[in-house]
Structure 1
Amino acid sequence: MIPTPDLSHLRKADYERIYEPAEDTFILLDALEQDAESLRASAPRVCLEIGSGSGCVSTFLGALLGSSGALYLCTDINPHAARCTRLTGSQNKISLDPLIGSLAAPLRHRLTRAVDVLIFNPPYVPTEEDEAAGAQVDAGITGAWAGGARGMLVTDALLEQVETLLSPHGRFYLVAVRQNDIPAIEARMRDRHGLDSAVVLQRRAGGEHLFILRIARRPPV
């Protein structure tokens, strides 16, 4: 079992500015660990986490893959999150490369068909559209959870980029809740982008029903 990364360097003041790892984070870690054997076998070279927050997830992935020589890229709109991500990597002896920016924007063209492991724990809580849009502009902690109508404002934008980003053997891990309409996400990725989707883990946490979707290219016939 891979231990949860050491986050003892982060303080209460940090969690007032970034998202503190919670049940949605931990189910994502469990899904990655569940796929550990196949992830290692695929020998990822480029890993990209969107919205890295504390850096917990990318640090865990780095520990899971071991000395693979992979590049761990992390983006976040929140400058404090980028700083915390770098510190978490250092605290756990995992080299992370955080960048400040929305989704894959800082590297999108350089990463065309190049991302082997793509990870996103998005702002999935349904809110008013104006609140979610404003949160993205403000680039603060509210941007980590305010998701707009159906909680899909930011996720919708990334789903349109996934097919372009994934390498031939790439896989995308997405955190979602029931209100996000999981069947609609699966149908969209299949019918519009030709990608296969599967719910690999689900769990109830308080009032939320959390899902981890794994999205990947269809194997050649």
Structure 2
Amino acid sequence: MIPTPDLSHLTSKDYNLVYEPAGPHLPLLDALEADLETLKGAEPRICLEIGSGSGCVSTFFARALVLLYICTDINPHANRATQATGRQNRRLQRRPGGIGGAWAGGWDGMEVTNKFLEQVEGLLSENGRFYLVALKQNNVPEIRERMLQRFQLKSEIVIERRAGREYLYILHTSGRDRHRVDMKMWHL
């Protein structure tokens, strides 16, 4: 079992600016841990996390796999928190709007995700894996159908559960023979 990263360096002031590492993070950590042996077998070289927030997920994952991590968030405070969490846990090295940006998904919460989904097929290698955290109100059956019909990405729900006030789904799809990026994680 991989321990949850130490987040003691983050304060309530940080959580006023950055999505708190709870709710969606915990089911995603469970899904990654459940797939860990398969992920190791794929011998990934790069992990891209979009919407890194506190850095909890990439730092958690860095304990299990040594590879290049690229973490980004629309919120500059989240980018700093991710860097600090990596340093706190000695896992992630320095890398090159406010919290409202973390929830800037448009009227249905999917505007940014839809733009990213257009790129997933071209980014995944043959051994690549993509994880998507979605809320029930994002219309998960519609997301899965769109991924299949528009992008030829067959997905499965690997975890679904209530996390506080939210009902979350963790979707997973395997890669096709495309570019060099091997593994993706995405948060809503």
TM-score, with normalisation over the residues of structure 1? 0.75
How high is the sequence identity, in percent, across the aligned residues?
59
Q: SS at 2:105's partner residue?
A: coil
Amino acid at match of 1:194: Q
Partner of 1:217: 175
| 1:119-198 alignment, distance < 5 Å | 139-198=97-156
1:218 Cα shift?
A: 5.7
Retained in 1: the 8 A contact 2:5–2:59?
yes
Retained in 1: the 8 A contact 2:124–2:176?
no
Amino acid at match of 1:49: E
Q: Distance in 1 between matches of 2:121 and 2:90?
A: 31
1:95 Cα shift?
A: 2.4
Partner of 1:48: 48
Q: SS at 1:160's partner residue?
A: helix
Residue 93 (structure 1) aligned to one of 87, 90, 95 = 90
Retained in 2: the 8 A contact 1:194–1:217?
no
Partner of 2:186: none
1:146-183: CA deviation from partner (whole Å, max 9, x where unpaired): 43222211111111111121122111110001211111
Q: SS at 2:21's partner residue?
A: coil
1:163-213: CA deviation from partner (whole Å, max 9, x where unpaired): 121122111110001211111111111111111200000101243221000
Query: Structure 2: any 5+ residue segments left out of the alignment?
Result: 178-188
2:22 maps to 1:22: yes
Q: Distance in 1 between matches of 2:89 and 2:125?
A: 28
Partner of 1:208: 166
Q: Distance in 2 between matches of 1:191 and 1:142?
A: 31
Bigger mean CA deviation after superposition, 140-149 or 73-82 = 140-149
RMSD, matched Cα = 1.6
Bigger mean CA deviation after superposition, 141-150 or 12-21 = 141-150
1:124-150: CA deviation from partner (whole Å, max 9, x where unpaired): xxxxxxxxxxxxxxx211222343222
Amino acid at match of 1:61: F
1:24-81: CA deviation from partner (whole Å, max 9, x where unpaired): 111111111111111111111000000111111000011122xx3x101001122221
Amino acid at match of 2:18: I
1:85 Cα shift?
A: 0.9
2:65 maps to 1:62: no
Q: Higher RCO, 1 or 2 (CA under 8 Å, sep at least 6)?
A: 2
Q: SS at 1:213's partner residue?
A: strand
- 4+ residue runs over 6 A deviation: none
Retained in 2: the 8 A contact 1:177–1:208?
yes
Query: 1:206/1:87 Cα in 2 relative to 1: closer, same or farther (>3 Å)?
Result: closer
Partner of 1:128: none
Query: 1:89/1:144 Cα in 2 relative to 1: closer, same or farther (>3 Å)?
Result: same
Q: Distance in 1 between matches of 2:22 and 2:103?
A: 12
Q: SS at 2:24's partner residue?
A: helix
Query: 1:97/1:39 Cα in 2 relative to 1: closer, same or farther (>3 Å)?
Result: farther
